[in-house]
Amino acid sequence: MRVAIVGASGAVGQEFLKVLEERDFPLDELVLFGSARSAGKKYTFKGKELTVKELCHNDDFKDIDIALTSAGGGTSKDFAETITKHGAIMIDNSSAFRMEDDIPLVVPEVNAEDCKNAPRNIIANPNCTTIQMVVALKALENISHIKRVHISSYQSASGAGAMGMAELEQQVKEYAENKDLTVEKFAHQLLFNVIPHIDVFTDNGYTKEEMKMYNETKKIMHSDIEVSATTVRVPVMRAHSEAIWAETERPVSPEEFRTECEKTKGITVIDNPAGNEYPMPFNLAGEDDVFVGRIRKDISNPNGIAFWCVSDQIKKGAALNAVQIAEYMIEAGLVKK
Ligand code: 2RA
């Protein structure tokens, strides 16, 4: 099994290296690709030094079985043909192909089987905010069909990449030194603030990030579920949080939902309000699972249930989800060059 990482120097690319090593992914060779700027950089994988090759339109992917790509939508579109033409499976973390009909959009806990129908050899990894929400929603859908969801996100600086984290850190330093704060990556100062604006606004008043939650959730869950999201940037370094209100066809008790979450692989329940125990991004950055807590009856709706959900968006929200897709495809015999 020969695996490539495209965009190896980025935050997700680096996480791919960690996740493949942590999970002892069954590979014989790992090849790193990047832009002209990152070509030549060296990274260690399982004690061996690997050098980043420049991504070019050539036959470098001839012997590659699986390419994990995270280099932005433009690069994914531009290089999809180069990457897949010799039969490699491309698992793409960008938004380039997510809503295309002949490209599965996959969260293995929810719709792994969709990988079986990938005529273009491309599988899309959903947006991080959608991934963690649908893992939790699938547990609820197992009990009763979900009609509607309202969700407010609390998204960390790292959702905007390494530069997002750097800006928040810089603002902390500048504040401590009584200087004016640098504001470049986000629309406003993030330190001591919350910004209800992620990605650009669309004509209906929702942002693109919010519309991703609307469209991607329907596609992944194969459902008529309605989703209304408000996505918000908060001064947290890593791991996104979400407050979720779901309306189901029949009333679901908190106990039923808690039990279903507890038996679902990929979900950890932390829900002990009396002991001040609930999921928080500060404790859970770097973890694999989706963490669920604050499970309660929605007092405004007899068929409603409310809960809180936290997950590391670079891990389960990006690199880990893509690697789990690759693992599923190998197991299901779908990687057959
Ligand atoms: C963010 N969800 O947090 C985005 C990244 N894909 O900005």
Q: What is the pTM of this model?
A: 0.97
- 188 among known catalytic residues: no
pLDDT tier at 317, thresholds 50, 70, 90: very high
The tokens describing 99, both together, are: 């809503």
The tokens describing 155, both together, are: 């998204």
For the chain, where are the alpha helices, taking DSSP H only? 11-22, 73-84, 108-111, 128-141, 162-176, 208-221, 254-262, 281-284, 320-331
CATH number for domain 2-126+318-331, candidates 3.60.20.10, 3.10.20.30, 3.40.50.720, 3.30.390.10: 3.40.50.720
For 309, the enclosing helix (H) or strand (E) is strand 304-311
Burial string for 261-284 (b: 16+ CB within 10 Å, else e) reads: beebebbbbbbeeeeeebbbbeeb
pLDDT tier at 336, thresholds 50, 70, 90: confident
From CA 127, how far away is CA 208, in angstroms rounded?
A: 11
How many CB atoms lie under 10 A from the CB of residue 43? 18
The CATH 3.30.360.10 portion of the chain extends over 130-313
Catalytic pick from 57, 86, 115, 128? Answer: 128
Burial class for 205, CB neighbours closer than 10 Å (0-12, 13-18, 19+): exposed
Find out whether the beta carbon of 155 lies less than 6 Å from any atom of ligand 1: yes
Residues in a beta bridge with 103: none
Phi, psi torsion values for 85, nearest 5 degrees = -65, -25
pLDDT tier at 218, thresholds 50, 70, 90: very high
pLDDT at res. 248: 98
At residue 337, does pLDDT exceed 80?
no
Residue to probe by mutation, ligand 1, list 125, 165, 198, most atoms within 8 Å of CB:
198
- The Cβ-side half-sphere exposure at 290, using a 13 Å CA radius, reads 31
Answer yes or no: are the C-beta atoms of 106 and 127 closer than 8 Å: no
The CATH 3.40.50.720 portion of the chain extends over 2-126+318-331
Q: Could you report how far apart the first and last alpha carbons of the chain are, in Å?
A: 10
Q: Looking at the domain that runs over 130-313, which CATH code has it been given? A: 3.30.360.10
pLDDT tier at 162, thresholds 50, 70, 90: confident
Is beta strand 146-154 parallel, antiparallel or unpaired with respect to 29-34? Answer: unpaired
**Residue having the nearest C-alpha atom to atom 7 of ligand 1:** 159
Answer yes or no: are the C-beta atoms of 265 and 229 closer than 8 Å: no
Answer yes or no: are the C-beta atoms of 154 and 229 closer than 8 Å: no
Q: What is the mean pLDDT of residues 227-246?
A: 98
Query: What would the pLDDT profile of 279-293 be if each residue is shown by its tens digit?
Result: 999 999 999 999 999
Query: What would the pLDDT profile of 109-152 be if each residue is shown by its tens digit?
Result: 999 999 999 999 999 999 999 999 999 999 999 999 999 999 99
Burial string for 144-180 (b: 16+ CB within 10 Å, else e) reads: bebebbbbebbbbbbbbeeebbbbbebbeeeeeeeee
Query: What would the pLDDT profile of 53-97 be if each residue is shown by its tens digit?
Result: 999 999 999 999 999 999 999 999 999 999 999 999 999 999 999
What is the ipTM, given to two decimal places? 0.96
Answer yes or no: are the C-beta atoms of 207 and 155 closer than 8 Å: no
- Average pLDDT over the chain reads 97
Residue to probe by mutation, ligand 1, list 127, 133, 233, 238, most atoms within 8 Å of CB:
127
Q: What is the mean pLDDT of residues 221-249?
A: 98
How many CB atoms lie under 10 A from the CB of residue 2? 17
